Amino acid sequence: MTKKRLIYINLDGFGKYYYDQMSAGKEALPNIKKLVKRGVLFEQAYTGIPSITVPMQTGIVSGCYSDRTGNCDKYWDREANEIILTGRLNRAQTIGETLAEEGRTFVSIQQFALEGKGAVRGRRDRLYTEPGGDYRIRFSMLLKLIRENVIEDKGTVYEYPEFPEAVFLYIDDLDSVGHNPPWCYADSERKRVDNVCRVLEGIDEMLGEMFNSLEEKGLFDSMYLLLTTDHGMISYRGKSRLGDFICALEEWGFRVAVCKEGKVEMKDYDILLTSHDIQCQMFLNEKSEDLRAMKMEALKKCIIKLPYVETVMTAKELADRGVYRDYADLLISPAEGESFSLYPLDQEHLYATHDSLHKKCQHIFTAMAGPGIRSDYRENSLVYTKDLIPTLAYCLGWKQPRDATGRWLTSILREEMER
């Protein structure tokens, strides 16, 4: 039997709506469509909370979210009275670490969530390499590995007797352009989405080259392919709603503190607020957990009525989604176009980012193919990004990452695999 292998490509910032808009065109994205035809398109794939790059990339490779990884971008340490940033923290085991334990050879091309978590710079059998640059440079590295079994990294050549058992490729061009930075600034949402779609076309071409090379080398039929992402993207314009929100809370009789990071300076407050950019994390300065939960339920009913608020989640609801317990007592996500930014905003500027519970950030593109996986199949049930690696580890006969809480998506398997 031929050895099964995996190529996992993460296209940072690949909201499902970009694909839905483009794929309506008959000629568009022929290679992503080829992957979808060969395997499964997840129509209802969702990311975790908060939908921010490091927590979500970390979550995918560990098959669990911040209740296990500890990485939720920022949280309030009640004892220290400090907003803590989680940086690259990951307390959970990654798929890179299980592969290393099993002595399997793999390569991470800039999938940074594996760096020091299974993958190591300069170590051939579990190489971490960071070529930088755009998708063309990173795909070229993968293509050379497929065609010549070689990785060239800053002057060092790593040779492989055969294609590694797993390759992880991280590409962030959709995210960079999607954020609408000055070098490709679009003054309308339509133009911003257009910019992202043009990049996606370029990436699709590279995927085509990858498929051709895999076919030429006879690797295509035994290869598992995963194409997914960490979050989508949403734009906003005009003033931050943080001021309005503080006014509302003060009118209801609360003393409100705001802290971006570090020590909370204000003394004697009832409510603490922080924000990544769009959504607002709220903490109640109340030691009793029961009392806190009760007050938050009551507050939720009031906050949801504010005109600029779309979704409010309690700590309990967040915990059910696998979010770290100290992430927030209430998470408040605004309507599209609004934000709870902590920074002064240029009123005319079109901003775009992704820490929001809005569908444009949460609903993501995901497709998977490989031996034993159904082909030309649409999966319509709700799946989360944390389910993907556990499912693939199951298919490939690999050890599961120790802390994984993701489900095995058995409905996408052909009958013989399900058994």
By rule CB under 5 A, what string of x and - marks binding of each residue 342-381 to Zn ion? ----------------------------------------
Of the two residues 175 and 387, which places its CB atom closer to Zn ion in the complex? 175
Q: Which stretch binds Zn ion (CB under 5 A): 25-33, 51-59, 154-162, 206-214?
A: 51-59
CB of 175 to Zn ion, least distance (A): 5
CB of 51 to Zn ion, least distance (A): 8
Q: Which stretch binds Zn ion (CB under 5 A): 222-230, 256-264, 333-341, 402-410?
A: 222-230
Beta bridge partners of 281: 274, 331
The answer to whether the beta carbons of residues 46 and 63 sit under 8 Å apart is no
Of the two residues 230 and 379, which places its CB atom closer to Zn ion in the complex? 230
Q: Which stretch binds Zn ion (CB under 5 A): 39-47, 77-85, 169-177, 185-193?
A: 169-177
State yes or no: residue 53 binds Zn ion (CB under 5 A).
Answer: yes
Q: Which stretch binds Zn ion (CB under 5 A): 49-57, 195-203, 282-290, 324-332?
A: 49-57
Of the two residues 196 and 249, which places its CB atom closer to Zn ion in the complex? 196
- For residue 174, what are the CA distances in angstroms to 171, 248, 272? 8, 37, 34
State yes or no: residue 230 binds Zn ion (CB under 5 A).
Answer: yes
Of the two residues 34 and 179, which places its CB atom closer to Zn ion in the complex? 179
CB of 219 to Zn ion, least distance (A): 29
Q: Which amino acid is at 238?
A: G
Of the two residues 112 and 377, which places its CB atom closer to Zn ion in the complex? 112
CB of 13 to Zn ion, least distance (A): 5
Of the two residues 105 and 356, which places its CB atom closer to Zn ion in the complex? 356
Q: Which stretch binds Zn ion (CB under 5 A): 65-73, 76-84, 175-183, 324-332?
A: 175-183
CB of 295 to Zn ion, least distance (A): 34
Of the two residues 12 and 204, which places its CB atom closer to Zn ion in the complex? 12
CB of 107 to Zn ion, least distance (A): 21
Token reading at 404: 């994984």
Of the two residues 12 and 387, which places its CB atom closer to Zn ion in the complex? 12
- The residue number whose beta carbon is nearest to Zn ion equals 53
CB of 207 to Zn ion, least distance (A): 19
DSSP collapsed to 3 states, the chain? CCCCEEEEEEECCCEHHHHHHHHCCCCCCHHHHHHHHHCEEECCEECCCCCCHHHHHHHHHHCCCHHHHCCCCEEEECCCCEEEECCCCCCCCCHHHHHHHCCCCEEEECCHHHECCCEECCCCCEEEECCCCCHHHHHHHHHHHHHHCEEEECCEEEECCCCCCEEEEEECHHHHHHCCCHHHCCCCHHHHHHHHHHHHHHHHHHHHHHHHHHHHCCCCCCEEEEEECCCCCEEECCCCCHHHHHHHHHHCCCCEEECCCEECCCCCCCEEEEECCCCEEEEECCCCHHHHHHHHHHHHHHHCCCCCEEEEEEHHHHHHCCCCCCCCCEEEEECCECCCCCCCCCCCCCEEECCCCCHHHHEECCEEECCCECCCEEECCCEEHHHHHHHHHHHHCCCCCCCCCCCCCHHHECHHHHC
Q: What residues contact 365, with CB distance under 8 A and at least 6 apart?
A: 11, 14, 15, 16, 18, 19, 45, 227, 228, 229
CB of 362 to Zn ion, least distance (A): 13
CB of 341 to Zn ion, least distance (A): 18
> Of 2-31, which residues contact Zn ion (CB under 5 A)?
12
Of the two residues 237 and 354, which places its CB atom closer to Zn ion in the complex? 354
Of the two residues 274 and 385, which places its CB atom closer to Zn ion in the complex? 385
Q: How many residues bind Zn ion (CB under 5 A)?
A: 4
CB of 202 to Zn ion, least distance (A): 18
For binding to Zn ion (CB under 5 A), which residues are involved?
Answer: 12, 53, 175, 230
